[in-house]
Chains A and B, each alone.
Chain A
Amino acid sequence: DAGITQSPRHKVTETGTPVTLRCHQTENHRYMYWYRQDPGHGLRLIHYSYGVKDTDKGEVSDGYSVSRSKTEDFLLTLESATSSQTSVYFCAISVRRNTEAFFGQGTRLTVV
């Protein structure tokens, strides 16, 4: 699992509440990513980071924000959860720029 831990692994939350998902890595890799996976859509990039306090948007960033104050932690926040954000969220890391990604175990989020 490339030393990646996601928490929580499962969460049920109510519409309109803020939610934060955590990704922790033990290898001090520079590049970290948040993806969501939905049936029929595959994996879609939400946000990514190329260093502490350096982040950028992916293709489905609306309604999400991220923070990276330490190399090892990349946080994904749903500012006001909606049912359309019910999904499986994967964190990933890359060892070098523009190379393959290695994934964490995933977080299953349900917004009711």
Chain B
Amino acid sequence: QKEVEQNSGPLSVPEGAIASLNCTYSDRGSQSFFWYRQYSGKSPELIMFIYSNGDKEDGRFTAQLNKASQYVSLLIRDSQPSDSATYLCAVLINAGGTSYGKLTFGQGTILTVHP
């Protein structure tokens, strides 16, 4: 079982719809969760992070975390064609005390927003 899993997609949604991206992780000790966006040929850029159970909203983006179910999601409201990209889920695993946590990535979900 991979430590961080995402559905590779592609996920296709119409402009203006809500895009829902999902990620599961295997290490119950994971503490921090991140969503990155990566346009084709570019480097990943951080768009959201979440540490606590529940929802965290930033503009059109909402990150949701459920540690009991080991599940983190990203909702994009009012999706735009410019949101078309690969979305990477990242989990900080085995961080505690003086150890150095490893930021482990899922394989990414390709999102296409069509006009």
Q: Which of A31, A58, A98 has the most chain B CB within a 10 Å cutoff?
A: A98
Interchain pairs with CB closer than 8 A, number: 57
Interface size on A, residues (CB 8 A): 26
Q: Residues of B at under 8 Å CB distance from A? A: 8, 31-32, 34, 42-46, 49, 88, 90, 92, 95, 100-108
**CA–CA, A71 to B72, complex, Å?**
34
Interface segment, A17-25, A61-69, A99-107? A99-107
- In addition to A42-B107, A43-B90, A97-B100, 15 A-B residue pairs with Cβ atoms within 8 Å of each other are A33-B103, A41-B107, A42-B88, A43-B88, A45-B102, A45-B103, A48-B100, A58-B102, A59-B102, A98-B31, A98-B32, A99-B32, A100-B32, A100-B49, A106-B42
Asked whether A74 is an interface residue with its Cβ less than 8 Å from the other chain, the reply is: no
Do B100 and A56 have beta carbons less than 8 Å apart? yes
Chain B residue nearest in CB terms to A33: B103
Residues of A within 8 A of B34 (CB): 100
Chain A residue nearest in CB terms to B103: A101
Asked whether A34 is an interface residue with its Cβ less than 8 Å from the other chain, the reply is: no
Q: Residues of A at under 8 Å CB distance from B? A: 1, 31, 33, 35, 40-45, 48, 50, 56, 58-59, 90, 97-106
Residues of A within 8 A of B8 (CB): 40
Chain B residue nearest in CB terms to A103: B43
Do A42 and B32 have beta carbons less than 8 Å apart? no
Do A98 and B46 have beta carbons less than 8 Å apart? no
Do A98 and B88 have beta carbons less than 8 Å apart? no
Residues of B within 8 A of A100 (CB): 32, 34, 46, 49, 90, 103
Q: Which of A41, A42, A100, A102 has the most chain B CB within a 10 Å cutoff?
A: A42
Report the minimal beta-carbon distance from B12 to chain A, rounded to whole angstroms. Answer: 19
What are 30 A-B contacts defined by CB distance under 8 Å?
A: A1-B43, A33-B103, A35-B105, A40-B8, A40-B107, A42-B88, A42-B106, A42-B107, A43-B105, A45-B102, A45-B104, A48-B100, A50-B100, A56-B100, A59-B102, A90-B43, A90-B44, A97-B95, A98-B32, A99-B32, A99-B92, A100-B34, A100-B46, A100-B49, A100-B90, A101-B103, A102-B46, A103-B45, A105-B43, A106-B43
